[in-house]
């Protein structure tokens, strides 16, 4: 038993000695390994307190960083370029330029009434009151027209309403797709059956709504259509009027009023005149056939003769319009339709049968396709009211020119174009 304890004690001492020896050997190795690996922890740096704002020094020479450029937006404050103010001793010179372009529609054909296309600007010559003018605007393109198609549907109409519709449809058939037409009728009432449109189907339906009624307000209808419906339109315009030329119930305007309005405008007027109905047998169209004409009294026509003008090419001055020289038209109701076409540069065509009426409507549609437009700035200022005579020629010997004979500078136009007096300089001395 003692020997066993002695052996265990001996083993324990050897084990302790061996453990100490191993510890002494391993200690330098562990120290060497720890020296080759260093663990670095982040260093916490205390935050500095913000510096106190100091007022800028006016004497400091340090440059200020430029501002960031911004883009102006609609409605925002967009910087505008600065304009240097004039010196206090500089005179204020103001130049007023008054320039109004006068446009003249022109149709050119030969002796056989064949249109002459493809003419150039340098082939035209234009004078105003015998003074040559420089043509600054020229076009021969087929620009769309605005056309007022006006039908007389009074009881004195020589054509039946069906014949009138057929003639109007012939005109509609020959329009270009871009042309815009408005259909009007007049009797003792003035009606617009449709606005300016290009739809041929709708135009035919508007013509189909025309009906015979009442008396004849020819002058009132022509003036109101020119003033209310055609005057506000820009571009090429024409009025095509189908009537017998008799007026019985106009109350506001006379032949001279309508002629003056045409002269002041740039509307081409085409008049188609059929014979007046027999005044001894007035006819009223009923929706059903009637075996005999009704013997109703015919309203008595009161001639509206308005200032006479010599037909030999001379001019005369009209009272109430200073320096106004009218063209050599009669200004009578007997020649009203002829005068209307003459002063506008259009055509007057009388006829007696439906076939001729349809052919005339087709020729008018063709005429509108061959219109040249010349424009110029008059060398004589437009600050003087009066009539200006115009003459247009083409250098080709076979050319025949049809254009309006002149235009009128109204008193209102003269006031608008009157030169404005320059302001008196502030530094002017007495």
CATH number at residue 393: 3.40.50.410
Per-residue pLDDT at 149: 96
**Cβ count near 236 (within 10 Å):** 21
Q: What is the pTM of this model?
A: 0.65
- Residue 307 CB partners (closer than 8 Å, separation 6+): 256, 316, 318, 331
Inside any domain, residue 55: no
Report DSSP letters for 12-68, one per residue. HHHHHHHHHHHHHHHHHHHHHHHHH----PPPPPPPPPPPPP-PPPTT--PPPPPPP
Per-residue pLDDT at 413: 81
Inside any domain, residue 152: yes
Inside any domain, residue 251: yes
How many folded domains does the chain comprise? 1
CA–CA distance, 348 with 243 (Å, rounded to integer): 11
Q: What are phi and psi of 358, to 5 degrees?
A: -65, -40
264 burial class (0-12, 13-18, 19+ CB within 10 angstroms)? middle
Inside any domain, residue 423: no
Inside any domain, residue 422: no
Evaluate whether 200 touches 173 at the Cβ level (below 8 Å).
yes
Matching residue, tokens 């109409």 = 157
Evaluate whether 350 touches 274 at the Cβ level (below 8 Å).
yes
pLDDT in tens, 188-237: 999 999 999 999 999 999 999 999 888 899 999 999 999 999 999 988 89
Inside any domain, residue 78: no
- Residue 269 CB partners (closer than 8 Å, separation 6+): 238, 239, 241, 262, 340, 341, 344, 346
Per-residue pLDDT at 158: 64
Nearest alpha-carbon partner for 269 in 399, 375, 364: 364
Inside any domain, residue 14: no
Nearest alpha-carbon partner for 195 in 208, 206, 210, 209: 206
Q: What are phi and psi of 389, to 5 degrees?
A: -85, 135
Per-residue pLDDT at 143: 77
- Residue 118 CB partners (closer than 8 Å, separation 6+): 140
301 burial class (0-12, 13-18, 19+ CB within 10 angstroms)? middle
Matching residue, tokens 């005057």 = 231
Q: Which long-range contacts (CB under 8 A, 24 or more apart) does 7-15 make?
A: none
Give the 3-state secondary structure percentages of the chain, helix then strand then coil, rounded to 5.
Answer: 25, 20, 55
Total residues belonging to the chain = 430
Evaluate whether 96 touches 382 at the Cβ level (below 8 Å).
no
Per-residue pLDDT at 13: 79
Low-confidence residues in the chain, pLDDT < 70: 1-4, 23-99, 158-159, 277-332, 420-430
Inside any domain, residue 25: no
Domain that holds residue 270: 102-279+305-416
CA–CA distance, 59 with 134 (Å, rounded to integer): 67
Per-residue pLDDT at 310: 32
- Residues β-bridged to residue 317: 325
Per-residue pLDDT at 28: 55
pLDDT in tens, 229-277: 999 998 889 999 999 888 999 999 999 999 999 998 889 999 999 887 6
Report the SS3 class of residue 113: coil
CA–CA distance, 258 with 254 (Å, rounded to integer): 7
């Amino acid at each position: 038993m003692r020997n066993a304890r002695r052996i265990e004690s001996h083993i324990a001492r050897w084990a302790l000695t061996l453990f100490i020896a191993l510890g002494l050997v391993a200690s330098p190795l562990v120290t060497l390994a720890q020296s080759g690996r260093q663990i670095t922890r982040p260093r916490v740096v205390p935050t500095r307190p913000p510096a106190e704002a100091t007022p800028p020094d006016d004497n400091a020479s340090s440059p200020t960083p430029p501002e960031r450029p911004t883009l102006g937006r609609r409605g925002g404050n967009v910087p505008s370029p600065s304009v240097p103010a004039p010196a206090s001793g500089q005179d204020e010179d103001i130049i007023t330029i008054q320039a109004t372009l006068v446009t003249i529609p022109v149709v050119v054909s030969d002796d056989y009434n064949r249109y002459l296309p493809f003419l150039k600007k340098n082939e035209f010559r234009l004078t105003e009151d015998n003074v040559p003018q420089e043509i600054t605007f020229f076009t021969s393109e087929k620009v769309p027209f605005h056309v007022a198609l006006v039908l007389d549907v009074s009881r004195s109409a020589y054509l039946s309403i069906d014949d009138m519709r057929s003639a109007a449809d012939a005109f509609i058939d020959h329009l270009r797709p871009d042309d815009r037409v408005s259909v009007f009728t007049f009797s003792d009432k003035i009606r617009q059956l449709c606005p300016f449109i290009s739809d041929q189907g709708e135009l035919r339906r508007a013509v189909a709504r025309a009906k015979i009624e009442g008396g004849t307000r020819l002058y009132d209808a022509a003036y109101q259509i020119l003033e209310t419906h055609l005057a506000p339109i820009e571009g090429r315009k024409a009025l095509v009027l189908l009537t017998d030329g008799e007026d019985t119930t106009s109350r506001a305007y006379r032949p001279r009023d309508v002629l003056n309005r045409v002269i002041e405008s740039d509307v081409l007027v085409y008049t188609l005149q059929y014979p007046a109905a027999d005044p001894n047998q007035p006819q009223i169209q009923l929706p059903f056939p009637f075996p005999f004409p009704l013997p109703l009294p015919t309203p008595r026509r009161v001639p509206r003769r308005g200032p006479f003008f010599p037909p030999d090419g001379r001019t005369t001055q009209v009272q109430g319009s200073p320096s106004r020289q009218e063209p050599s038209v009669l200004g009578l109701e007997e020649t009203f339709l002829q005068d209307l076409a003459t002063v506008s540069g259009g055509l007057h065509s009388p006829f007696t049968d439906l076939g001729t009426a349809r052919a005339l409507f087709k020729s008018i549609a063709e005429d509108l396709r061959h219109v040249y437009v010349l424009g110029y700035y008059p060398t004589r200022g437009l600050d003087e009211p009066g009539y200006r005579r115009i003459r247009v020629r083409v250098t080709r010997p076979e050319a025949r020119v049809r254009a309006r004979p002149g235009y009128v500078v109204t008193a209102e136009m003269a006031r608008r174009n009157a030169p404005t007096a320059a302001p008196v300089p502030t530094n002017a001395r007495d």
